[in-house]
Amino acid sequence: MKIVDVSTHPLKLRGDDVYLGAATRAPVEADYYVRPPWRSLYSDRFETLIVRLTCDDGTVGWGECLAPVGPEIAQAIVDRLLAPVLVGADPRGVRPLWSRLTGLMRERGHLVGHQADALAAVDIALWDLAGKAAGLPVHALLGGAFRASVPTYVSGLPVPTDGERAALARKWLAEGASSVKLHLGRGVAEDLATYDAVAATGMRVAVDAHWAYDLADALRLGRALDERGAWFYEAPLVPEDVEGHRELAAALVTPVAVGETLRNRYEFRHWLQARALDIAQPDVGRTGITEAMAIAEVAAAHHVPVAPHHSVGLGVVLAAGLHVAAAVEAMPVFEFQPGPFPVANRILARPLPGGPGSFPVPTAPGLGVDVLLEDL
């Protein structure tokens, strides 16, 4: 079994403008904008990179990386640097290939940034091929599933007022959800008002501050969340401030959650050894499956649970995240994105079932998904 073709497909799909924050944007260029108070670029569309690996027996493996802006960047890395090594390789040797591919740019940012994103897409496709070759789902190749169903929380209530957010929370409760993560960072008083309005519905509530606060305000908000019994407190400080997160985690009862910006076991080890996080949140669209499982083992050695981050990735990376979530023992919850989910399923031959309360773990060989590129 040999890989004979590597093809890359950047996708830019239209979705729900409400979810994408069309009313609160500061344009940067035609397609991208900033959503204050958050600093990162966002897109008018759901953007991603799909990778297809085809073998000499006709078997196809699908991969995807988290590329919410500029998927052409990761595409260029796959096409120019990774594809020549992949052609002719046996895809069943996933870990040896991972080692070889990561070494290609070892002294040039090989485990971070766009390089890591591109590697993640290829790695996911390799695991898909390995599972199909063995006739087993990926989670079986990872050592087996700890659960048949992955519990989820609703990520975000994208409406403008606290009253509307509370009403939307009640809607999700009626549809089987029990937990929600609020996307905040708009100021301590405003964040607490939103928290209180949503918590009054009976939802279990977490807060994502999107890296918006300095340490003083993060402490003020965190102590108020302690008093309210908040579920967890995600991304309170800028992502490069490990020491600040350590101080914050030591001062609070509410667990501090970090991980979407980190892409490898070495970064996570640094944070874990510093006791700068209480919940690890790797995103499989940025780590790949191989590295996500390595991160989970490092986290386990520090007695820290893994609650995978899932952003605006589409159906392939969602399936990959579910396989990893099934195969990690200390995995309390997985992120459900209600805005991207219909778009995620739009690219699949068979939509993934599940939603605001849980996802069933896929059981078909490989990732259990096939992509309909010709329809996009």
Catalogue the active-site residues. Answer: 309
65 has which bridge partners?
Answer: 49
Contact 234, 257 (CB under 8 A): yes
> Around Cβ 109, how many Cβ atoms within 10 Å?
11
Q: How far apart are CA 372 and CA 316, in angstroms?
A: 11
Query: How are beta strands 233-234 and 179-183 bridged, if at all?
Result: unpaired
Following CA atoms 235, 238, 243, 245 in sequence, which dihedral angle do they give, to the nearest 10 degrees? Answer: -20
256 has which bridge partners?
Answer: 233
Q: How far apart are CA 264 and CA 134, in angstroms?
A: 27
Q: Which of 91, 68, 62, 98 lies closest to 2, judged by CA?
A: 91
Biggest alpha carbon–alpha carbon distance for the chain: 60
Q: How far apart are CA 296 and CA 302, in angstroms?
A: 10
